[in-house]
Amino acid sequence: MRSLPADHPLHAPKPPADLERWVDAVAALTEPAQIHWCDGSDAEAAALTQAMLTAGSLETLHPDYPDCYLYRSHPNDVARVEHVTYVCTHDAADAGPNNHWMAPADAHARMDDLFRSCMRGRTLYVVPYCMGPLDSPFSRCGVEITDSPYVVLNMRLMTRMGNAALARIARETRFVRGLHSTGDLDPDRRFIMHFPEELAIKSFGSGYGGNALLGKKCHALRIASWQAREEGWLAEHMLLVAITNPAGETHYVAAAFPSACGKTNLAMLIPPASMPGWQVRTIGDDIAWLHPGPDGRLWAINPEAGYFGVAPGTNARSNRNAHQMVHRDTIFTNVALTADRKPWWEGLEGVPALDWRGQPYDPTVGPGAHPNARFTVSAKENPAYAQEADHPAGVPLSAIIFGGRRRTLAPLVFEGTDWTHGVLLGASVASETTAAATGAVGVLRRDPMAMKPFCGYHFGDYWRHWIAVGAQLTQPPRIFHVNWFRQDANGRFLWPGFGENLRVLSWMLDRVAGTAHAVDTPIGWMPTPADLPLDGLEIESARLEELLAVDTQGWREEYARLQADFAQYGDRVPAELHARIQAAVERLSR
Ligand code: OXD
Ligand code: MN
């Protein structure tokens, strides 16, 4: 059944026998017209691109955008679909109330029915990939079988894909099996199933982003979080940055925010002109795998090799690096087009001619670009790309930041008093929902560690595991909570955000160095306005006071809500977290 394309390099590694058997079994079920083993070469990408252009499923853009293409997904298939995303463990309790659950046998039967004959007339692509540097002991491999050339092209940008990954798989033999078909894009026949005990994923009926690029959310978060617990590490929804201060010292920081809360912008932050000598370089913008090191520090790698970033709002002011890097070798999904075929989205100047559906743009009908329109681009195109992203050992973390999008209550920044308190800060993250997932936008929901849609097991066990990992660290990173999104009564943002966020990061790094002052409050350590480096920033002192105030009554109510939210996780919630809430509530009541 296996047929190599004519231009397949002679040095293609021999796949392990169980991979070949799996591909044969999937082919017998799905009945593709042909099978293509992806080698990851430029020639392969060029051929796939050409075939999609000929078929009309990709479009070329203005010559100012060399090797950039536009893809329009089906209008019913524009975001992750959490309501049909399942974790299928033998014991339902292991998936936890934070996941939808189905018994593995039932899930396999349902999915196999959907997959039966679904690739007739299509090509089955075998996509070997490695999450993380090819030579890192922390990296993990997978193979995605898909019938979507768009998925192949995206996986090539987002992961280390092709022969090199296959060679590692042949050596290691253990890999995550991801089976994907766009099916008929019928939303009623769309499911994203995870089988962590089998290291397997089955995704049917969507061709979009996190539903279809199985290396990303499905493998690197849901399956990897399970694997990480078994192996003693953490798979997290975090960006990773290298921050160098004017003295030339570099610190590595990881930050978890819910989807579309500015992780990509923070990962590519441009220091304000009034902070000369600072430099921020990007290691990752979405996912970090964290390992306790033999030196008692926490070491991080970015398992991805590219960015699948939200386009709307990206411009030279909000994210100059991203704006610059999406001018070549980029796949745009669901953006609008100007009359001269330049990609366009809200936040850029001018108006488009065609909206994301390809219809003449009419602002009374809706936005030009879909609010979850994306760019896919290799991380190497980022002018601020950090070479450390390829270090097999990763980078040691000085700080971890949690945050959410909250109009009220959560101050600009506060710090956990120790690792366990930091775990509570992560577990209490809440954020107003965005367009990255289907469903209402702007509703406050609890999103612990920004992992609500991505943790592959019971949150109570997950927090326990976080505490256990911390217990192995003699030099743990400090843990902070931020909120860039506070608004005043008139809906005006209180904090300018973007590059100015470096002021908050600078205070954090001084805390790490032991040189910055903070006040001991019931919710954690907090700077006073005088503690933040604000030279060159014009901001009214009343605003700063509001940003750095602790609303006693509001926090009592918040902790009551948190306890109610924790109640659903029953006695798996670590007693330490209850104790920390209790201590905070007592201090607030004094
Ligand atoms: C993403 C998300 O696409 O979190 O990164 O939704
Ligand atoms: Mn994400």
| Residue whose CA is at the smallest distance from ligand 1 atom 1 | 259
CA of 246 to the centre of ligand 1 (A): 33
Residue 469 in any domain: the answer is yes
Residues whose CB is less than 8 angstroms from the CB of residue 117 and which lie 6 or more positions away in sequence, other chains included: 29, 30, 31
Residue 258 alpha carbon, nearest atom of ligand 1: 4
Would residue 265 count as lying in a domain?
yes
**What CA–CA distances, in Å, run from 296 to 89, 242, 355, 396?**
33, 20, 52, 10
Distance 217 CA to ligand 2 centre (A): 8
Predicted local distance difference test score (pLDDT) of residue 403:
96
Query: Is the pLDDT reported for residue 435 higher than 80?
Result: no
pLDDT in tens, 283-328: 999 999 999 999 999 999 999 999 999 999 999 988 999 999 999 9
Q: Which of 259, 304, 452 to mutate to test the pocket of ligand 1 (most atoms within 8 A of CB)?
A: 259
Task: Using pLDDT thresholds of 50, 70 and 90, give the confidence band for residue 470.
Answer: very high
CA of 261 to the centre of ligand 2 (A): 9
| 259-288 confidence digits (pLDDT tens) | 878 899 999 999 999 999 999 999 999 999
185 falls within a domain: yes
- Interval between CA 69 and ligand 2 midpoint (Å): 22
- Report whether pLDDT(353) > 70: yes
The yes-or-no verdict on residue 78 having pLDDT over 90 is yes
Q: What is the pLDDT of residues 533-577, one digit of tens each?
A: 999 999 999 999 999 999 999 999 999 999 999 999 999 999 999
In a domain, 143, yes or no: yes
pLDDT given for residue 443 in this prediction: 83
- Tell me, what's the pLDDT at 17? 95
The residue among 170, 213, 161, 125 whose CA lies nearest residue 41 is: 161
Atom of ligand 1 nearest to the CA of 454: 4
Q: Is 118 a catalytic residue?
A: no
Does 436 have pLDDT greater than 80?
no
Is the same domain home to 424 and 450? yes
CATH number at residue 436: 3.90.228.20
* CATH code where residue 182 lies: 3.40.449.10
Q: Are 165 and 245 members of one domain?
A: no
Pocket test for ligand 1, best of 80, 263, 431 (most atoms within 8 A of CB): 80
Neighbour count for residue 307 (Cβ, 10 Å): 28
Out of 219, 240, 308, mutate this one to test ligand 1's pocket (max ligand atoms within 8 Å of CB): namely 308
246 and 190 in a single domain? The answer is no
Over residues 399-421, mean pLDDT: 97
Q: Given a cut of 90, is residue 442 above it in pLDDT? A: no
Decide if pLDDT at 497 tops 70. Answer: yes
Question: Are 268 and 285 in contact, with CB atoms under 8 Å apart?
Answer: yes
CA of 154, nearest ligand number: 1
Nearest CA to ligand 1 atom 4: 259
Query: Are 162 and 264 within one domain?
Result: no
Domain edge (last residue) among 190, 212, 231: 231
Same domain membership, residue 282 and residue 150: no
Same domain, 190 and 292: no
Residue 191 shares a structural domain with residue 254:
no
163 and 249 assigned to the same domain: no
Selected catalytic residue, list 88, 118, 261, 455: 261
Could you tell me what percent of the chain has a pLDDT over 90?
A: 94
Is there a domain that residue 588 lies in?
no
Whole-number Å distance, alpha carbon 368 to ligand 1 midpoint, is: 21
Nearest Cα residue to atom 3 of ligand 1 = 210
Domain closes at, from 169, 201, 231: 231
Region 370-399: mean pLDDT is 97
In a domain, 444, yes or no: yes
**Beta strands 374-378; 306-310: pairing state:** antiparallel
Q: 259 C-alpha to center of ligand 2: Å?
A: 5
- Ligand 1 pocket, Cβ-based, cut-off 6 angstroms: 80, 209-210, 259, 286, 308, 436
Query: What CA–CA distance (Å, rounded) separates 481 from 465?
Result: 20
Neighbours of ion ligand 2 (CB under 5 A): 259, 286
Has residue 9 got a pLDDT over 70?
Answer: no
| Helix extents (H) in 11-115 | 17-30, 42-55, 92-95, 104-115
Residue 1, pLDDT above cutoff 90: no
Q: Structural domain of residue 142, as residue ranges? A: 17-56+79-231
147 and 219, same domain (yes or no): yes
Q: Using the 3D structure, point to which of 177, 203, 231 is the last residue of a domain.
A: 231
Q: Would the pLDDT of 432 be above 90?
A: no
pLDDT score, position 7: 46
Longest distance between any two alpha carbons in the chain, whole Å: 76
Give me the number of domains the chain comprises.
Answer: 2
Say whether both 168 and 266 belong to one domain.
Answer: no
Q: Are residues 125 and 243 in the same domain?
A: no
Atom of ligand 1 nearest to the CA of 80: 6
Which residue is it, tokens 């766009």?
182
Q: What number of CA atoms fall less than 13 Å from residue 451's CA on the CB side?
A: 32
Residue 9: inside a domain, yes or no? no
For residue range 328-339, list pLDDT tens digits in order: 999 999 999 999
- SS3 category, 507: helix
Do both 478 and 437 map to the same domain? yes
In a domain, 330, yes or no: no
Note the pLDDT tens digit of each residue in 129-154. Answer: 999 999 999 999 999 999 999 999 99
